[in-house]
A = this chain, B = another copy of it.
């Protein structure tokens, strides 16, 4: 039966200097703000920022304390982060608690986020677009205006396909932390562009 120090609730990180605390605060707020501009849960991003910046695994209580959020909230968003593969549960000997750590490699983090968002959002859109054209093609032949609309939807769908190809071609680069390779491809792209310039027209 391990008896604990009677220092129950005030769990300020003792090892952080004031300016470290402040910078961490800035960082967390920034990350949350940015995320919410991209349709990602603010708190989820704040937890992620905290874990990214943390020098060691944190448990739920520490996260609650630092971000001033409820247990339920912390738990839900931690689950989401684990589900997104951005955070891992770990354990420490002598404790039954779950501890959490975030991936440290920014390239991997980005890859993961892109992959996850792609998985969750591209396919449904493609299906929904298909559903639109299906609605239009039901029954009678298309009127001119309907045909025009179908064309526009198709343009969109085609574009999304190319974009998909583009993304899946480049994800492996990010995954393998190969900044140099990315730069090579950028240079090639610029060359292709100069070479081909003027050849394209919209006739």
Binds B, one of A4-12, A75-83, A162-170: A162-170
A193 / chain B contacts, CB cutoff of 8 Å = 172-173, 181
- Closest B residue, CB atoms, query A162: B179
With an 8 Å Cβ cutoff, the count of chain A residues facing the other chain is 73
A69 / chain B contacts, CB cutoff of 8 Å = none
The reply on A20 being an interface residue by CB < 8 A is yes
The reply on A15 being an interface residue by CB < 8 A is yes
A170 / chain B contacts, CB cutoff of 8 Å = 186, 189
Copies of the chain in the assembly: 2
Contact of B26 with A132 in the complex, beta carbons under 8 Å: yes
Binds B, one of A57-65, A93-101, A153-161: A153-161
**A interface, CB within 8 angstroms of B:** 15-17, 19-20, 22-24, 26-27, 30, 34, 36-40, 52-53, 55, 104, 106-107, 110, 121, 125, 128-129, 131-133, 135-136, 138-140, 143, 145-146, 148-149, 152-153, 155-156, 159, 162-163, 165-166, 169-170, 172-173, 176-186, 188-190, 192-193, 196, 200, 202
